[in-house]
Amino acid sequence: MYSHHDESHFVTRAGWLRAAVMGANDGIVSTASIIIGVAAAGTGQTAILLAGLAGLIAGAMSMAAGEYVSVSSQSDSEDADLERERTELEANPDAELGELATIYEMRGLTPELALDVATQLTAHDALEAHARDELGITDLSKARPVQAALASAATFTAGGTLPLLAVIYAPLGSLIWITTVISILVLGVLGLLSAKAGGAPVVRAIARVTLWGAAAMGATAIVGRIFGTVVG
């Protein structure tokens, strides 16, 4: 007889990890890019700080709203599928039992064993069995809009705060370079942590976030320099 033991799998972290990594990455990249772009236009330190702060607040709210709307749509679809499945179970339980048995048979069980498993799982919780094995909805994968929104907003704010600190403490003359270096280093750490947490290749994760972050900051620096020269 097998003993029960808890196992930690990377898939259990998929929901919050996605929102957290996306939020922190966007917080760093967007806030740093705004700061670098405004600084490249030749503005003063106060204006740079205000622009970065405004971008941080707007970005955090936008991330939270976007995640909530997106994940809510997924949650609505899941709820609709579950309600439809509940109706079908009430209207035609025998057909649903056969459908469940067919699923297990297609996964490698003999017809007799598949029917036996389907019967036992249906007796235990028919809707749960169909949700998991027919619809692919489990507790691990179920959409959680509020959790995703809060995680995105919090991590965006945490990420965006770092470039703002560079504006406060760095000399204006070297502000762009200090912000860029700090942001890329933090992006690299973020890539490392996300790779470790998700079981992904470390080098690929670090390269992905740092290269795209550097490209975004470089683009805004160019635009800021051009428009600063034209307007100035």
**Residue-wise pLDDT tens digits, 55-91:** 999 999 998 898 888 888 877 887 888 888 888 888 8
Half-sphere exposure of residue 42, counting CA atoms within 13 Å on the CB side?
8
**Between these two residues, 14 and 129, which has the higher pLDDT value?**
129
Longest dimension (CA), the chain: 81
Lookup: tokens for 36: 């670098």
**Residue-wise pLDDT tens digits, 134-155:** 777 766 556 678 888 888 889 8
Q: Is the pLDDT of residue 11 over 50?
A: no
Interhelix angle 93-106/45-91, nearest 10 degrees? 120
pLDDT for position 21: 73
Q: Could you tell me the CA-to-CA distances from 108 to 22, 115, 135, 138 in Å, in that order?
A: 38, 12, 19, 21
Task: Give the pTM.
Answer: 0.69
Lookup: tokens for 211: 């290269």
Q: What is the average per-residue pLDDT within 16-39?
A: 84
The Cα–Cα gap between 21 and 27 comes to 10
**Between these two residues, 32 and 201, which has the higher pLDDT value?**
32
Lookup: tokens for 104: 């297990």
pLDDT for position 3: 46
In order, the DSSP letters of 217-230 are HHHHHHHHHHHHHH
pLDDT band at 23 (very low <50, low <70, confident <90, very high): confident
> Of 164, 160, 156, 158, which is closest to residue 63 (Cα–Cα)?
156
Long-range contacts of 86-91 (CB under 8 A, 24+ apart): 86/127, 89/126, 89/127, 89/130
- pLDDT over 70, % of the chain: 87
The Cα–Cα gap between 200 and 231 comes to 46
**Residue-wise pLDDT tens digits, 167-177:** 888 888 889 99
pLDDT band at 19 (very low <50, low <70, confident <90, very high): low
At residue 17's C-alpha, the angle toward residues 11 and 19, to 5°, is 130
The Cα–Cα gap between 200 and 18 comes to 13
pLDDT for position 77: 84
**Between these two residues, 32 and 136, which has the higher pLDDT value?**
32
Q: Could you tell me the CA-to-CA distances from 15 to 74, 105, 145, 149, 155 in Å, in that order?
A: 13, 30, 10, 11, 14
Q: Is the pLDDT of residue 2 over 50?
A: no
pLDDT band at 1 (very low <50, low <70, confident <90, very high): very low
Q: What is the average per-residue pLDDT within 92-108?
A: 85
Residue 199, phi-psi category: left (phi > 0), alpha (psi -120 to 50), beta (remainder): left
